[in-house]
Structure 1
Amino acid sequence: MAQRAYSDTASSTRTDRGTEYEIIARVTYRIKQAAQQGKRAFPQLVAALHDNRRLWTVLAADVSAEENGLPPELRARIFYLAEFMQEHTRNVLAGNAKVGPILEINTAILKGLSGRRANR
């Protein structure tokens, strides 16, 4: 019960930015793990990529909303990345592309959410 009480408190104090970070970090980890295991983990890769697509669909919808407070240029860039993720994921699933760019983009977003600059 103590663990449950603590986790309820921890989740209630998490910021939106922290929640976004956690979700992106988890899906990125799952993609990386499945990709490292090769063909035998293809079902896990498909599931992780599906969740990543859903995540980027939500991000695209969020930045498309009129009430979104981000600067217009940043909103446009995030929307473009969401479109890229959809297309690149389609290519990965068809066997025509690698997951590297997906991992790189998610990692750059994680660095941005944590306040660190991407190494570029």
Structure 2
Amino acid sequence: MYHALYADIASETTANIRDNERAAFEKSISLLRMAEEKGRGSRESVEALLFLNRLWGVLLEDLAHPENGLPETLRATLISIGIWMLKRADDIRQGREQAFAPLIDVSESICRGLRRA
């Protein structure tokens, strides 16, 4: 009886975490779209890039934690994506890149994956 209850709670907790991650990606996508519309250097751009940095900072910290339950290869892939996202965001901030579309595309792909999981 207790094992079934624990499994239900663990399943709900995982679903809640996934929902929160998806919501964070949806907010990031929305901010990035506004930044794309207003252009690099706009207030919207600063806000979107700051949010993206915070989001990926939290995700990378979690992915690097030894108790993270994801398979090691998936964690490594997500860490690589996160590092690329942060580098691309810095390139935009520094004026070396202008396009937000790659950040939006990758974020949408991850968000779709979170919906299916």
Q: TM exceeds 0.5?
A: yes
- Structure 1 gaps of 5+ residues are 1-13
Deviation at 1:31, TM superposition (A): 1.1
Q: How does 1:78-93 map to 2 (within 5 A)?
A: 78-93=78-93
Deviations 1:60-99 (A, max 9, x none): 1111101000000100011111111111111111222111
Q: TM-score, normalised by structure 2?
A: 0.81
Deviations 1:27-71 (A, max 9, x none): 1101101211336x7111111111101101111111110100000
Instruction: Tell me the secondary structure at the aligned position of residue 70 of structure 1.
Output: coil
Is 1:31 paired with 2:58? Answer: no
Q: How does 1:1-120 map to 2 (within 5 A)?
A: 15-38=16-39, 42-97=42-97, 98-115=99-116
Instruction: Tell me the secondary structure at the aligned position of residue 68 of structure 2.
Output: coil
Q: Is the contact between residue 25 and residue 107 of structure 2 (CA under 8 Å) also seen in structure 1?
A: yes
Q: Determine the C-alpha separation between the residues in 2 that align with 1:35 and 1:59.
A: 23
Q: Determine the C-alpha separation between the residues in 2 that align with 1:34 and 1:59.
A: 22
- Structure 2 gaps of 5+ residues are 1-14
Q: Determine the C-alpha separation between the residues in 2 that align with 1:86 and 1:80.
A: 10
Q: Determine the C-alpha separation between the residues in 1 that align with 2:36 and 2:101.
A: 9
Amino acid at match of 1:18: D
Amino acid at match of 1:42: S
CA RMSD after TM alignment: 1.9
Instruction: Work out the number of aligned pairs and report it.
Output: 103
